[in-house]
Amino acid sequence: MKRARRTPRRSVAPRPGRTALDPSLANLCDGLPFALLVLDRTGAVTFANAEARRLLRLPSAAPAGCTFPALWSTLTGGDETHVAGQLRAVLTTGRPLHGPVIHLNDGTGRPTPVEWICTPVGDQKRPGLTVTLRDLSRERELRQDRDRLAAIAEESPSPIIEVDRHAQLLYANPVMTALLSRLGYGADGFPKVVPRGLPALVERCLQSGQAVRGEDVFLPEASFSWTFCPVPAQGIVRGYALDMTEIHATQQALRRSADQLADSNRRLDEALAAARESAEAKTAFLAAVSHELRTPMNGVIGMTSLLAETSLSSEQRSYIETIRQCGEALLHLINDLLESSKIEAGKLELEELDFNLRTTVEQVLAQFAERAEAKGLELVGLVHAAVPTALRGDPGRLRQVLTNLVANAVKFTDRGEVTLQAYLEEDGGDAAMIRFEVADSGIGIAPETQAKLFMPFVQADSSTTRKYGGTGLGLSISKQLIELMDGRMGVVSAPGKGSTFWCTARFVKQPSSPRAIVPAGDLKGRRVLIVDDNESNRMILHQLVSGWGMTDSVAQDAGIALTLVAEAALQGRPYELAILDVMMPEKDGLQLARELRRHPACAGLRIVVMTSLLQRGHAEEARKAGAMGYLTKPVRHDELRDCLRTVLGVAPIEPAQPAPAAPRLVTRHTLAEAARRPRILVAEDNVVNQKLAVRMAEKLGYQADVVENGREALAAMAAGEYAAILMDCQMPVMDGFDATRKIREREAMHAKRDAEDGVRHHLSRGRESFRPTPDPLLDQGVRSHAERVEGDQTPGCAQKVPDPVTRHVPIIAVTANAMAGDRERCLAAGMDDYLPKPVKLDDLRLVLQRWIVPPSESPMDEEVRSHARREEGDQTPGSAQKVPDPLAGSLSDDRSIFDPARMIQNIGGDRQLFAQLVSLFLTRYESMLADIKEALAAGHALSVERAAHTLKGTAGNLCAAAVSQAAGRLEAVGHIGALHDAPPVYAELELEVLRLVRLLEQYRQGREHVTTAAA
């Protein structure tokens, strides 16, 4: 019988990549928190859950060809055979194997601790194994965190407790344990160191779920501030305490210090109140005493002055002078003491007044002119060009400071000079910081003494006090006044080398604040020679004349001056004017003046001499030496400028005689006489028209200042007062229309400000207390003064009554345009009247009389009228032969080219002016034509219009109708911008000008007196 064949059994091993578990069971195993491996009896891995794949870095749940012994050996570095033997032992015995904690190397350098258990599964037919692995790294981290937190609590320097919901103590750190041992428990059974009512606090903390902070405990031995934090899940509360023992002790000490400080402040307030009462009493006492002292002192000084006017012997007069000097010195001391007391008490207030800085500086210098002369000192001053002059502040206090500084400089200087200068240190737009320097060549001050100079009652040393006198209050008062003006004061000095005291002060600028030195159109380009041995004088004169637009050269002695004169003559640019200092070494100013008069290169040189020493007959000696001007130092800016104008013939004091036997010398007195005549401002850019306007104004008895454009007119208006303005409409930089509008805007602004000030003044007066007992004599004096101001004035000074800033200044348009609508345009711009060119003397007289008070009668005016009558025909036979009539036997009957008779009539018969205007035109016509050519070449229509307008006005004043008409046509071409039509019009104009020039040349050559007058 055949044996039956046995069918081979199929292997039950899983295929590679497939698990041995049901999918649902595999998913369930993936959710386990530990690693699970299923092994067959050979140790091959048949299934690995998700955690096993992560922990052992397996690629899939049933990795092909992966055996646990090989995998375990790779991850742990152990023996694969040993692991395989352990697995067989589990299969054989059927007992689980608990392996030790071992570290897996995952390749990151951080071994992972795991514990593993191998358990048999299946039956005898299909035995298998399961291996479970648990990652211990997270547990180890938690254990480390727990240990760290426990260490923090244990090592904390602050008490920490943990209590249950019944406030029973569960934990106390060592610090808290030590406190319990030291402080013990209270009667309620709770530790003394915890807040009272601990059970209620714990209950509140657990119910709210919020931390409770700021529970303070204050014990004699210690102080704590507790914070309780609930742990609701566990039903416990943890408490943390902050040791406040030292802080509480510090707070207690601060409270005690604050109480002591408050007590000290109370005592200081009481002492301050007492000091204030004492200061007020001292101030009142000083005021009363100074009043009581000043009253008899005024009587002593006044009666001494009256006694000095009586007939006295020389000895008596000496006694009287001594009494006067002592009285004034005592009065000055009283004033200083009262002033110092006011400043110390804080009762000194500064005024806010409009003032002119240059005038203030010049007034200070004028006070010391006689004293400086007596000591033989040079006293000079200068307000530099950039300094604004129209300021607002307290001029009285500024004058007080400068007076003190200059007085000290003169007092402590025996020879040399004293200078006062003002600089612009800072321009802040609406305000300016001005720096003043007073320099001397006196005894100087030692460095160790300079720091004490500005203290009250301090001077350089005791010997100075004995020699020079004084209280030492002046500089202290001056420094405090300067500080009230937002400034500083100091000194730079060395023994034997003089001193420079400086100070700064801040002032508000007035809406229109011109510079201290502005260009003068009538002096521009004039050549002047300055001769002075003193360097400061040379510098100041240079600053002034160059600021006015003059070209100057300086020399320190007569020899250098003569060399400069000779060189200028060789260059064909001779000097027109020389300013000489009288007191110079070797050769004085009068000797130099005589040499200059004899010098062949100085035929037309005008000479002005300046001196610091006033001597009787000195002025006449200067006149005989050839000087035309004689001024004393310190010279004022305006005096010097007016003197130069007068000497140069720009603004003469009186019309020059044809051949004067003794020319009148220009001094500050003659300038003051001329200042009484009304001043008018001439705004004109053409030199011929300037000359004409100035001479006409002077013939009518007015003074005339000249500017070249509207901008200079605004500066001149801000710097001084004018009765009227003759405004040319067409000028460069700023024309007459724009200048007029700005002047009117300025007047309106000042009028509004003055009206507001008047309302405030009225309201303040309304608040004054009523005076129950009026003084009839005082009221009568006030009424008399008001009557004199309002009605008892002479015509010559009537124009000085209104405020020069706020009053309406008449502006008269002077223009060569005579077309319809020109007058209306001028009036619309704010001008008051209209005067067409050529200007006639009678027309100018009527227009000025319509708007301003005519000049008062004076001997000077009578001389002007007498001279005019002699020129117009009321002459003696002898004089008629000296001045032949230039119109007799006219060389041309063509009045369209030049009408001399009409021109003479227009200028009021002034034949000298006639000759000067002819000579000026012949000198300037080429430059006027050149200006037109240049504008045409540049294709600038506006420049063509202005240049042609200038020539038209000049020709109109000369009564040259043909040239005026041709220039008018070219002006119209420029006005409409049709420059392509300009060449033939210009050719016609040039032809007419040449015809006029030939006629005028014949006229000048045929009349010798014309040439002489023009020279």
Average predicted confidence (pLDDT) for the chain:
78
Higher pLDDT, 884 or 21: 21
Among 444, 410, 439, 404, which residue's Cα sits nearest to residue 422? 439
Higher pLDDT, 616 or 653: 616
What is the mean pLDDT of the segment spanning 815-826?
Answer: 66
**Domain shared by 644 and 691, yes or no:** no
Higher pLDDT, 684 or 332: 684
Which of 546-555, 612-621, 724-733, 872-881 has the least mean pLDDT?
A: 872-881
Say what the pLDDT of residue 1007 is: 52
Q: 342 lies in a domain?
A: no
Token pair, residue 1013, equals 């007058």
Q: Is the dihedral of CA 51, 54, 55, 56 positive or negative?
A: positive
Alpha helices in 658-721 (DSSP H): 668-675, 687-699, 710-719
Which secondary-structure segment (H or E) carries 217?
A: strand 212-218
Q: Is 833 helix (H, G, I), strand (E, B) or coil?
A: strand
User: What's the predicted TM-score (pTM) here?
Assistant: 0.44
Distance (Å, rounded) from C-alpha 401 to C-alpha 832?
44
CATH number for the domain spanning 63: value is 3.30.450.20
Domain range for 487 is 349-509
**Domain shared by 328 and 372, yes or no:** no
Per-residue confidence at 673, pLDDT binned at 50, 70, 90? low
Say what the pLDDT of residue 779 is: 38
pLDDT beyond 80 at 345: no
pLDDT tens per residue across span 724-767: 999 988 888 898 899 999 998 888 787 777 666 655 554 454 44
Which of 129-143, 299-313, 885-899, 997-1011 tops mean pLDDT?
A: 129-143
Say what the pLDDT of residue 1005 is: 67
Say what the pLDDT of residue 804 is: 41
Q: 179 lies in a domain?
A: yes
Per-residue confidence at 470, pLDDT binned at 50, 70, 90? low
Say what the pLDDT of residue 782 is: 35
Whether omega for the bond prior to residue 191 falls within 30 degrees of 0, making it cis, is no
The residue from 336, 358, 373 where one domain ends is 336
Using the CB atoms, write b or e for 33-67: b if 16+ within 10 Å.
Answer: ebbbbbbbeebbbbbbbbbbbebbebeebbbeebb
Among 614, 608, 673, which residue's Cα sits nearest to residue 643? 608
**Domain shared by 356 and 310, yes or no:** no
Among 394, 396, 388, which residue's Cα sits nearest to residue 509? 388
Q: 969 lies in a domain?
A: yes
**Domain shared by 50 and 118, yes or no:** yes
Axis crossing angle, helix 961-976 with helix 941-957, rounded to the nearest 10: 160
pLDDT tens per residue across span 846-889: 888 777 866 754 433 444 444 434 433 443 333 333 334 444 44
Q: Is the Cβ–Cβ distance between 891 and 1002 less than 8 Å?
A: yes
CATH number for the domain spanning 907: value is 1.20.120
Number of domains in the chain: 6
Q: 890 lies in a domain?
A: no
Render 921-987 in DSSP notation, one character per residue.
Answer: HHHHHHHHHHHHHHHHHHT-HHHHHHHHHHHHHHHHHTT-HHHHHHHHHHHHHHHHT-GGGHHHHHH
What is the mean pLDDT of the segment spanning 717-724?
Answer: 84
**Domain shared by 505 and 545, yes or no:** no
**Domain shared by 504 and 546, yes or no:** no
Say what the pLDDT of residue 616 is: 61
**Domain shared by 526 and 503, yes or no:** no
Pairing between β-strand 127-135 and β-strand 35-40 as defined by DSSP bridges:
antiparallel
Which of 3-12, 735-744, 997-1006 tops mean pLDDT?
A: 735-744
Say what the pLDDT of residue 797 is: 35
Distance (Å, rounded) from C-alpha 64 to C-alpha 731?
111
What is the mean pLDDT of the segment spanning 812-834?
Answer: 75
What is the mean pLDDT of the segment spanning 145-160?
Answer: 80
Say what the pLDDT of residue 778 is: 32
What is the mean pLDDT of the segment spanning 30-55?
Answer: 88
Say what the pLDDT of residue 881 is: 37
Higher pLDDT, 602 or 781: 602
Say what the pLDDT of residue 382 is: 87
Which of 397-411, 443-457, 781-795, 797-811 has the least mean pLDDT?
A: 781-795
**Domain shared by 387 and 409, yes or no:** yes
Higher pLDDT, 775 or 136: 136
Which of 146-155, 200-209, 442-451, 873-882 has the least mean pLDDT?
A: 873-882
Say what the pLDDT of residue 791 is: 36
Distance (Å, rounded) from C-alpha 835 to C-alpha 843?
8
Render 344-383 in DSSP notation, one character per residue.
Answer: HTT------EEEEHHHHHHHHHHHTHHHHHHHT-EEEEEE
Which of 238-252, 626-640, 796-810 has the least mean pLDDT?
A: 796-810
Q: Is the Cβ–Cβ distance between 556 and 533 less than 8 Å?
A: yes
Say what the pLDDT of residue 860 is: 39
Say what the pLDDT of residue 529 is: 92
pLDDT beyond 80 at 655: no
**Domain shared by 496 and 539, yes or no:** no
pLDDT tens per residue across span 322-332: 787 777 777 76
Distance (Å, rounded) from C-alpha 49 to C-alpha 308?
136
Say what the pLDDT of residue 372 is: 84
**Domain shared by 541 and 424, yes or no:** no
**Domain shared by 472 and 354, yes or no:** yes
The residue from 478, 509, 540 where one domain ends is 509
Which of 168-182, 183-197, 341-355 has the least mean pLDDT?
A: 341-355
Q: 930 lies in a domain?
A: yes
pLDDT tens per residue across span 243-294: 888 888 888 889 889 999 999 999 999 998 888 888 777 767 766 666 667 6
What is the mean pLDDT of the segment spanning 353-379?
Answer: 85
Give me the count of residues in the chain.
1015
The residue from 296, 311, 336 where one domain ends is 336
Say what the pLDDT of residue 798 is: 34
pLDDT beyond 90 at 815: no
Distance (Å, rounded) from C-alpha 453 to C-alpha 446?
11
Q: 391 lies in a domain?
A: yes
Say what the pLDDT of residue 398 is: 92
Q: Is the dihedral of CA 517, 520, 524, 526 positive or negative?
A: negative
User: CA-CA distances (angstroms) from residue 863 to 620, 648, 654, 881?
Assistant: 22, 20, 8, 21
Residues of the chain above pLDDT 70, percent? 78
Q: 300 lies in a domain?
A: yes
Per-residue confidence at 658, pLDDT binned at 50, 70, 90? very low
What is the mean pLDDT of the segment spanning 811-840?
Answer: 76
Q: Which residues contact 549 (CB under 8 A, 6 or more apart)?
A: 519, 520, 521, 523, 524, 525, 526
Higher pLDDT, 576 or 110: 576
**Domain shared by 292 and 175, yes or no:** yes
Which of 635-639, 668-672, 777-781 tops mean pLDDT?
A: 635-639
pLDDT beyond 80 at 799: no
What is the mean pLDDT of the segment spanning 482-488?
Answer: 91
What is the mean pLDDT of the segment spanning 87-99?
Answer: 88
pLDDT tens per residue across span 495-523: 888 899 999 999 999 887 777 787 877 78
Per-residue confidence at 438, pLDDT binned at 50, 70, 90? very high
pLDDT beyond 90 at 820: no
CATH number for the domain spanning 742: value is 3.40.50.2300
Q: 877 lies in a domain?
A: no
Residues of the chain above pLDDT 90, percent? 10
